[in-house]
Amino acid sequence: MNPYDHAHALARAIREWEPFQRALDAIRALDQEPAAKDMLVDYLRRQWRMEAKQLRGEALTDEERSTMQKLTEVVQLNPSVQKYLQADRELQTLMMDVHTILSTTLADVHVVSAAEIFEEMGRDK
């Protein structure tokens, strides 16, 4: 059993999976709505910046949280954006689940776990 062949088969299965197809459809719709696409890209950039800040151990301000909450409400008013975000959440969940499955298997050959390293650094995983 070649894991690379299975990885390629998984990639093909994902491309055929309904959430992937919905994400593609939403992207095509957003390509027809430049203002909505720009709004989504801006929203995602802000979201990634906030997540990066948290990963660096920095606290978010109340203003940042409030602004992001308001932006979330606004972007979800657009049906194409809403469809994209829903499909993207499902795809992200799949990615995390696959990562967990693989990490659990590969944990048997790791000398030290990420949890142990984070604990040594004084941070939760």
Average pLDDT, 10 consecutive residues per value, the chain (125 residues): 93 96 95 96 95 92 94 93 94 95 86 79 65
Q: Which pair of structure tokens corresponds to residue 37? A: 């696409």
pLDDT for position 107: 83
Closest of 16, 33, 19 to residue 79, by C-alpha: 33
pLDDT for position 123: 62
Strand residue runs (E) in the chain: none
Spell 9-36 as b/e; 16+ CB within 10 A means b: eeeeeeeeeebbebbeebbebbeeeeeb
The region that residue 122 occupies, defined by phi over 0 for left and psi between -120 and 50 for alpha, beta otherwise, is left
pLDDT for position 117: 83
CB distance 37 to 31 below 8 Å:
yes
Question: What does the radius of gyration of the chain's CA atoms come to, in whole angstroms?
Answer: 18
Q: What is the pTM of this model?
A: 0.77
CB distance 75 to 43 below 8 Å:
yes
Cα of 122 vs its chain's centroid, Å: 25
